[in-house]
Chains A and B, each alone.
Chain A
């Protein structure tokens, strides 16, 4: 697809026009810059010149980009990117959490793989690591989600639209992360269960064969020994199963809660809410509606009987006061 760059021509015109303007306006522009540097007060040039530091976080989420080129050339105050509003800090915090959660998920994947490999050790420390990682990730997700609620803004202004959209975008990221976590967990559990069953089958077989071998000999004692060991084994298995189920239930309920909260924020792809023109129209209509409501409220407030009552009472008070003073004077 073809494009054409007109920037060079534009810059040429701009510089030539500037040189035409400069001799006339140089005095005024220098005073303007002085004014700016002294007070930083608002002029027609916009906000104070400040270079916000580039964000060191997520490479694709830098909220304070670098500004224009040739800073030395401009004698007038170039409008560079100013400080973003406060809520941007909240959103940056959330994206830090998300980034951290992502790295932890990668670690979790590795830990899962290691735990699934057959090993001679107990596997308890692997379990521990997996548990702690999962807990950390869930904690991060919950914290991010709580912070996300703080981004909700009131009032139809342009800034609130930006906030809402940032919120939506972060909500989508969070939801994707939680789904990924769920999937990882379920595949791990499935594979673990398969492994355990295989293991317990082999053990059962061994027990069964040895049971047969010692059948004729120490009948009762062997029987009860085997029975006890079998009972103990199945107890252990059921305890473990219960623990796993408990874990799964917990994580499912936690994530379900997160997903329910997020689904209100996330855009359903392919629906009308995902259309740009629909969102623009909606903004326009809500702004209009908001304006109408405000006007109506103003009108009713002005006409309100309350105002009348209050003013009547105040006047009465004054009258009484005057009468009281008169009474004192006359007496």
Chain B
């Protein structure tokens, strides 16, 4: 709630003091920030009658001086140049500039220089520089996410840009929350270390005055960790509603694009919105597993059919009047029901076609339970199975390799060969690349619960007790990290403090930033943890929101670059 409310507050403040007809101008990144929290009808209420992108606004020559322009853009050099040109040839009556992050003095100078007509009324920094669609989850939607896997020597400028964007995003989050945190990072990750140090420099040195907020009794904690510490979670298939939609179809800024499925009848909705803020059914079902969702949807359809029947049964005048009164709600309910039914139907079809029930069972076994021999058998069987798709085969081999990296290298080699022979599009060496990036030597956390005795015992107990649902038995590593923080037992050796920061006791607010991306399974874990009211509130953020396709794409991209990089070297 917190971050969503902050962005909405920023937008409200931007629009409320400016009277008259307005045009809102966004860039390609802020359009996501705004669209996910603010609706078009709310904009219309605030008298914003046109929304444009900063790229397309200079194309048209129409002068619309009866409109006031409200710019909300990122302070990149690209945007500043475009703005320069537009200020020199102003199309609108007034210009109000809002930047989503810190401006450099040179940039203000450039803008002042080009504002010869003196159309600019205000220049403000409103720090809504992140995309937050769920209460405790935000993302930076970065396109070049793969850069975190590449060592600095290969592409230093690229990594610098990556790091700058992340630092800007994290700074914006804390400015929106009005807090200055104590910073810790994962020792084994260079990228995390770099980002943590640069954030500390920004908050405590360069812009120390800006971040000097009222101190509370315990400072919040910023923990910067690396995706490669838990490569298992993005590879797994998901069975809870929000995570499943993202895994099977794809959820971008709370929108689902059904065009990729391709098998829809003509009049069906092609793009739908899945927002926990606006859709009550989604809000109560986003973390439920597939079976429960099916039942709840059936109940919703039954309710709706009853309402529809009573609407058809119009006999008296009062019935007619009531129908006309309730028509908008009826229409809304109808749209909602059809949306969820379509989604669940499409997902069921995909589960059926890709045989995901069997595949996922093996995946969960690989992730949670032991037994190398049985695992090898199961994976080999599925590799031989014709109806299993290439991407699923690749995931299975990767999960096996991550778990049994050191055991029985011969069998591991056999699996690699089988994978290469079965999947024509497979980029050779990808699994080995993954092991180099996220293998057992690189990881800090106890991913499979087989490092310390306590975890082994816990796993054995769980195995004996049995699990509720075989398909959702996996807990992301993040859950353990959150538990350690709640108990105040996050090891300094593994997660050192930056500089001379120190924290007494346990923090009350924690922002965990995962370099490389988060998953919806992890955001679900955070939401459930927050619901237990343990005294610590967690917020999770990342450079992107991953599903298995995206994670594999990042791996491939990183592999390609490091190969060409090594050729250059």
Q: Could you list which residues of chain A lie within 8 angstroms of chain B, going by C-beta atoms?
A: 1-7, 9-11, 13-14, 17-18, 21, 44-47, 52, 60-65, 67-68, 74, 76, 78-85, 88, 157-159, 161-162, 165-166, 168-169, 172, 175, 179, 182-183, 186, 245, 248-249, 252, 255-256, 259, 263, 267-280, 284
Contacts and interface: CB of A to CB of B under 8 A. Distances in A.
B176 interface: yes
Counting from the closest, the 9 A-B pairs by CB-CB distance are A13-B112, A84-B66, A65-B20, A81-B93, A169-B44, A82-B65, A277-B35, A14-B112, A165-B49
Given A270-B275, A276-B40, 7 more contacts: A2-B175, A168-B41, A182-B324, A271-B269, A276-B38, A277-B253, A278-B255
B178 A14 contact: no
Interface string B511-537: 000000000000000000000000000
A7 B320 contact: no
How big is the B interface, by class? 35 or more
A47 B63 contact: yes
A269 B94 contact: no
Given A9-B108, A44-B89, A272 B123 contact: no
A14 B114 CA distance: 9
Dominant secondary structure of chain B at its interface with chain A: mixed
A270 to B, nearest CB: 4
Contacts of A62: 19-20
B93 A3 contact: no
A274 B127 contact: no
Nearest to A246: B317
A7 B122 CA distance: 5
B353 interface: no
A280 B51 CA distance: 7
A165 B178 contact: no
26 contacts: A2-B127, A3-B127, A4-B124, A11-B112, A13-B109, A14-B118, A46-B91, A65-B20, A65-B94, A76-B117, A80-B65, A80-B93, A83-B66, A161-B49, A162-B67, A252-B321, A256-B324, A267-B44, A269-B278, A269-B332, A270-B332, A270-B336, A275-B39, A275-B40, A276-B38, A277-B31
Contacts of B357: none
A46 B65 contact: yes
A7 B124 contact: yes
A86 to B, nearest CB: 11
B53 A280 contact: yes
Contacts of A7: 121-124
B112 to A, nearest CB: 4
B273 interface: yes
B118 A68 contact: yes
Contact of A248 (B63, B122, B175, B317): B317
Contacts of B50: 158, 161-162, 165
B9 A1 contact: yes
Given A3-B127, A158-B64, A256-B324, A9 B105 contact: yes
A274 B41 contact: yes
Contact of B21 (A63, A83, A268, A274): A63
Contacts of B52: 158, 280
B24 to A, nearest CB: 8
A79 B117 contact: yes
Contacts of A68: 94, 118-119, 121
A270 B279 contact: yes
Contacts of A60: 19, 47
Interface in B216-270: 253, 255, 269
B62 interface: yes
Nearest to A88: B66
Contacts of A273: 40
Nearest to A67: B93
B511 to A, nearest CB: 15
Contacts of B303: none
B20 A46 contact: no
A36 B50 CA distance: 30
B39 A269 contact: yes
B10 A1 contact: yes
B32 interface: yes
